[in-house]
Amino acid sequence: MLGSLVLSIISIFAVFGLFCLILFACGKTLYNTPVVMCTYNNEKTIENDIKEVINKYGDTEIIIVDFGSSDETEKIVKILQSEYKCIKFVERRTINEKQIDKS
């Protein structure tokens, strides 16, 4: 009885391991963790930063949190957002120690 239970558990782990190996061989991951990037006035680097993440992690969700940039950061992210559907943009502003979410 105990031997068959142990054999069943080993079989389950073997099947799961084979499944993960197949996914890995196909370039897929079992878990797709989002990438969160915080930004403030990064118009000079934000496009390159986002494209590096896309090149490294593929179609993983990228959440850009902007803390009230006064430069062209938001515009650049919105342009990239139209090209890459994996990008989400969240704008955060702090006014009188209260945060207002404009997403």
Residues 101, 92 contacting (CB under 8 angstroms): yes
CA atoms within 13 A on the CB side of 55: 6
User: What is the reported pLDDT for 63?
Assistant: 93
Across 2-21, average pLDDT: 55
Q: Where are the domains of the chain?
A: 1-29, 32-101
pLDDT bin (cut points 50, 70, 90) of residue 98 is low
User: What is the reported pLDDT for 23?
Assistant: 55
In whole angstroms, give the CA distance from residue 49 to residue 30.
25
- pLDDT, tens only, 18-55: 555 555 555 555 457 889 999 999 999 999 999 999 99
3-state SS assignment for residue 103:
coil
In whole angstroms, give the CA distance from residue 79 to residue 102.
18
pTM beyond 0.85, yes or no: no
Does residue 78 surpass a pLDDT of 80?
yes
